[in-house]
């Protein structure tokens, strides 16, 4: 028997919930380390990043190439965008100024829909600014359609 007033250690059991949390936590940490350590699972941030970039690039290009080729509305919109954004350097009819003539028989960076789209989206080294951020892929596709309509004449 204990003396009254003497400090005693109590023998309450640890609550089940706490144990579950404790061991659950350990299992989670182990699983996490195994899954996300490149040397163990092969997972890598860089691989994930490359995958995402690849799929994003695919979407961008298919937007450019699919929808607007030849559509009258798109060409009309494209003409307007061109007048506002591109004409200061390429002239309203795209025959050139500070920038080259875009109706010329051949273009330095290529004249396929994809080439033209990339010239506009990413820019070109000698003074062509990139427009993807400012204008967006949909409008660039329309401008591309407009330029194609000029080039076909
Ligand atoms: C600040 C002036 C400027 C503006 C604004 C500009 N461009 Fe250009 N662009 C240039 C110059 C300069 C080049 C030549 C770049 C080179 O040779 O490296 C060029 C090149 C290009 C080319 C490639 C031509 C080739 O020969 O392959 C295309 C296509 C083009 N521009 C389209 C556009 C479109 C569409 C817009 C509007 C969204 C636009 N540009 C706005 C100056 C401009």
Per-residue model confidence (pLDDT) at position 36 = 87
Q: CB of 131 within 8 A of CB of 140? A: yes
Per-residue model confidence (pLDDT) at position 21 = 94
Say if ligand 1 is within 6 A of residue 129 CB: yes
Per-residue model confidence (pLDDT) at position 85 = 96
- Evaluate if residue 61 carries a pLDDT over 60: no
Per-residue model confidence (pLDDT) at position 68 = 64
Per-residue model confidence (pLDDT) at position 32 = 93
Q: Pocket of ligand 1, candidates 128, 133, 141, 143: which has the most ligand atoms within 8 Å of its Cβ, to mutate?
A: 128
- Evaluate if residue 62 carries a pLDDT over 60: no
User: How confident is the model over 78-113, as pLDDT tens digits?
Assistant: 999 999 999 999 999 999 999 999 999 999 999 988
Say if ligand 1 is within 6 A of residue 119 CB: yes
pLDDT (average), residues 3-25: 82
- Evaluate if residue 43 carries a pLDDT over 90: no
Give the integer Cα–Cα distance in Å for 77 and 95: 19
The encoded tokens of residue 73 equal: 């509305």
> 41-65 b/e with 16+ CB inside 10 Å = b?
eeeeeeeeeeeeeeeeeeebbebbe
Per-residue model confidence (pLDDT) at position 94 = 95
User: How confident is the model over 25-41, as pLDDT tens digits?
Assistant: 999 999 999 888 888 88
Say if ligand 1 is within 6 A of residue 99 CB: yes
Give the integer Cα–Cα distance in Å for 113 and 40: 44
Region of poorest pLDDT, from 9-18, 60-69, 105-114, 115-124: 60-69
Per-residue model confidence (pLDDT) at position 46 = 87
pLDDT (average), residues 5-15: 76
CA 53 to centroid of ligand 1, rounded, Å: 26
**Which band of pLDDT confidence, cut at 50, 70 and 90, is reported for residue 123?**
very high
CA 94 to centroid of ligand 1, rounded, Å: 10
């Amino acid at each position: 028997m204990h003396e009254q007033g003497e400090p005693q250690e109590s023998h309450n059991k640890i609550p089940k919930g706490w144990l579950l949390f404790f061991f659950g936590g350990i299992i989670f940490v182990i699983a996490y380390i195994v899954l996300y350590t490149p040397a163990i699972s092969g997972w890598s941030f860089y691989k994930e990043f490359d995958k995402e970039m690849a799929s994003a690039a695919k979407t961008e290009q298919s937007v450019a190439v699919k929808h607007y080729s030849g559509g009258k509305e798109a060409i009309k919109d494209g003409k307007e965008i061109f007048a506002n954004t591109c004409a200061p350097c390429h002239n309203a009819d795209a025959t050139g100024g500070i920038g080259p003539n875009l109706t010329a028989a051949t273009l330095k960076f290529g004249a396929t829909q994809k080439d033209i789209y990339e010239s506009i989206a990413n820019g070109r080294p000698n003074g062509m600014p990139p427009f993807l951020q400012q204008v967006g892929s949909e409008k660039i596709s329309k401008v591309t359609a407009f330029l194609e309509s000029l080039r076909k004449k």
